[in-house]
Amino acid sequence: MSNTVSNLVLIIALLFGFEAKFVFAQNRTSCDVKADFAFPFNHPCQTLLDLTTLSSDTMQGRAPSTQGQQRASNYIIEQFKSIGLLPVSQLGLLDTDGFKQVFQYDHYGTATTGENILGFQRGQQYPNQVLIITAHYDHLGTKGKRIMNGADDNASGVAGLLAIARFFSVLAPNYSILYVATDAEEHGLHGARYFLENWNSVYGKPSLNTDLIDEPIDAPIEIKMNINLDMIGGTKGNLYFTGARKNQAFLAIFDTVTQQIGRKHIRLKRGHGSARLSRDALSGNIDWRNASDHAVFRKQGIPYLYLGGDLHDFYHTSDDTIDNIDQNAFMASVKAALMTVILLDGLPSQYFEF
């Protein structure tokens, strides 16, 4: 493992260590991202644009089954297409319509429609083993005239998911990666739950309809891990890595990423809900293991890693806006998430035994 990891460290150093010089497009003059947030193959301003667009007033707080949700869904699908992700319907994997996976759920007695968005990247070395990267794109909609923009919660996570997908669209991953922008998380993790139930029902079958891809995947696809991004805006300067506690390979990855990111813009921390945190009145009663979509995977015994920040004064208020995001902390968080997935993707398959 140590050799593998040190090779990966070298790759990471090569990829991230250079001083990038950006030439900003004229129509993005508001983007003043520092050069040390260079992402290979993904202009940081694009990531800021994703965050800004998804948390804009036009999206009306992205509540399930609303016009705002449709706009957000369309935007994410546009990005998936331009990145070159495969619509899951073409792979015959899940009961989806193109990139969309539509489902019904009960919300306080009202039948409500949700819509996950799924995009697939084929792995080079382990095509039949998949990393599931989740980030919920729904939020709380509007309250009276106030728009709950949900910039940190969770336009930030979706922007991070897109940045990861852009990286791997150029340097293909070893494992297959399925990107799932989930809906109806705020109403009770409904999108993630439906996704996994549907996955289980489909993968009970011995073979898959993979005729439509060049190199068919002929073995059942197995989920190796869930990586969930929720509230990575860095609002209080912390990014917590929750889950995968006992896995030595992951601990090495965490140390590597921490060293690379430093402490200037964001502080990376292991675990969530520590004694230190429980003194915080806002977050004292939260069981972070169950706080977002990763809980659905955790309950099935699937290894998970949840990247998220603290609760803060803007949480679930109309002040969770782009203006209250520290762009440096957010970009550092996205970079940390990307580096983590690159390193996880470099692990041999057996190291996922958590």
Q: At closest approach, how far in Å is the CB of 205 from Zn ion? A: 33
Which helix (DSSP H) or strand (DSSP E) does residue 236 occupy? none
Q: Is 183 in the site for Zn ion (CB under 5 A)?
A: no
Compute the least distance from the CB of residue 312 to Zn ion, in Å: 12
Confirm if 61 and 52 have CB atoms less than 8 A apart. no
The region of 108-116, 164-172, 187-195, 225-233 touching Zn ion under the rule CB under 5 A is 225-233
Q: Which of 154, 226, 321, 333 binds Zn ion (CB under 5 A)?
A: 154
Give the span between the Cα atoms of 205 and 131, in whole angstroms.
20
Cβ-count burial of 162 within 10 angstroms (0-12 exposed, 13-18 middle, 19+ buried)? buried
The nearer residue to Zn ion, 28 or 107, going by C-beta atoms, is 107
Q: How far is the CB of 339 from Zn ion (least distance, A)?
A: 22
Of 153 and 345, CB closest to Zn ion: 153
Does 153 bind Zn ion (CB under 5 A)? Our answer is yes
Measured from the CB atom, is 177 or 192 closer to Zn ion?
Answer: 192
Q: Please identify, using beta-carbon distances, which residue of 183 and 345 lies nearer to Zn ion.
A: 183
Q: Which amino acid is at 282?
A: L
Judge contact between 234 and 310, C-beta under 8 A.
Answer: no
For the chain, how many residues are written? 354
Residue with smaller CB distance to Zn ion, 183 or 230: 230
By rule CB under 5 A, what count of residues binds Zn ion? 3
235 lies in the binding site for Zn ion (CB under 5 A): no
Interface region with Zn ion, contact rule CB under 5 A, candidates 12-20, 22-30, 229-237, 316-324: 229-237
d(CA 40, CA 54): 23
Among 183, 230, 310, 345, binds Zn ion (CB under 5 A): 230
Q: What is the dihedral sign for C-alpha 80, 84, 85, 90? A: positive
Q: Return the half-sphere exposure (C-beta side, CA atoms, 13 A cut-off) of residue 165.
A: 32
d(CA 220, CA 310): 38
Residues that bind Zn ion (CB under 5 A): 153-154, 230
